[in-house]
Structure 1
Amino acid sequence: MARWAEGGGERLQLAAMQLFQERGYDAVTVAEIAERAGLTKRSFFNHFADKREVLFAGAAALQAEVVQHIRAGGADEVAMDAALSGLAKAGEGLADYLEHAAARHALLVASPELLERDAFKNASMADVIAQALEERGTPPRTAHLTARTAVLIFNTAFADWASNPDVDFGFHLDQARADLIGAVS
């Protein structure tokens, strides 16, 4: 087995998703993922901290992209528009990963352990969005409230899109926002 095989991270992700779908998340070990990918267990840990992280790879890159879009937005955008616009623009590539996204979503909702990690990642995303909003001049309390709400709207839209991908993600995002506004009005 190759120690530093090119594309090892992607191969591990693919192997993990295949195994998780075949046998369920809890029934799969790191050693089995590495073996399926043609790599060693040690190579697995060169790419991922643990088995859960296979499903959350790219979170830091997504956060950076969201922040970049928020910073590039118009100075006159209200905080919620800036946050949702940043999330939507960063999420534009989701359609390329529809099958993976739907399978990942199904795994997350079936596992308390993965839901816990997802909640941590969502809180982290909200923190970076809030910081970007503060940099734009949004008061800290408003920035944090807006960021957490924007992440909730995004996740609701994502779940809707994963189960109904024939409808554009932007529509799902607008609908989730409208539903929230309706609920608090």
Structure 2
Amino acid sequence: MPRWEPDARTRLEKAALELFAERGYDGTTVADIAERAGLMKRSFFRYFPDKREALFGGTPLLVGHLEQYVTEAPPGIRPWPLLVDALTGTARFFPEDRETARTRHRVVTANPELREREVLKTATLDDLLRDLLTARGTPPRQAAYLVRLALTMYEQAFTHWLTPADPEPDFTECVATAVGDLERVLGEWGDGG
């Protein structure tokens, strides 16, 4: 077997997801993942520190996108539309095959360790976005409220995107629906409703 295998990281991620779906997270070893990907076990650790990270390799891409988008946005853009647009743009990192995203979601929600890692990912995004808004002049408390609402909206949009439908909406439509739902709820409950 050659020392360098093209697209090894992607193959490892795909193998991990397949095996976690077939055998469960606890029933899958790093050696199993490497074997399924056609690689040596030590190759796995060139890309990931442990097996759970094979499902979270996209986090640095999300962080990089959000950081660049918010940092490079023109100064006059208000915080809420900036957050909505930045989070909508993360759809470019979603798998082309929506069923892959659904499988990943099922695997993560079925395992406490993976759910914990998902919460950590969300906390990372929360901290990042609050810091970025604050650096743009949004008062810290308002930045915290806006980011928490934006991440809740994002989670609802993503859940909508994952839900089978005919036709399946694109993520932009899911975000628009989630933003509309949030605005309606805030309007109804904000008026003492």
* Shared fold (TM-score, shorter chain, > 0.5): yes
The equivalent residue for 1:175 is 177
1:121-168 Cα shifts (integer Å, max 9, x gaps): 011011111122122211122222222221221121111101136112
Counterpart residue number, 1:51: 51
Cα offset, 1:25, TM superposition? 2.1
Whole-Å Cα distance in 2 between the matches of residues 91 and 131 of structure 1?
A: 22
Aligned residue type for 2:9: G
How many residue pairs align between the two structures?
185
Alignment RMSD (CA, Å):
1.8
Structure 2 contact 154–175 (Cα < 8 Å) conserved: yes
Return the letter of the residue paired with 1:104: R
Which runs of no fewer than 5 residues in structure 1 stay unpaired? none
The aligned residue for residue 145 of structure 2 is 145
Q: Which of structure 1's runs of 4+ aligned residues deviate more than 4 A? A: none
* 1:63 and 2:63 are equivalent in the alignment: yes
TM-score (norm 1): 0.90
Task: Say whether the 8 Å CA contact 2:62–2:93 is kept in structure 1.
Answer: no
| 1:156–1:2 Cα change, 3 Å | farther
Q: Name the CA shift for 1:174/1:95 in 2 (closer, same or farther; >3 Å).
A: farther
Deviation at 1:2, TM superposition (A): 4.1
AA aligned to 2:24 is G
Alignment of 1:1-185 (within 5 A): 1-94=1-94, 96-164=96-164, 166-184=168-186, 185=190
Which has more helix, going by share of residues? 1
AA aligned opposite 2:49: A
Further displaced range: 111-120 or 74-83: 74-83
**1:16 Cα deviation (Å)?**
1.0
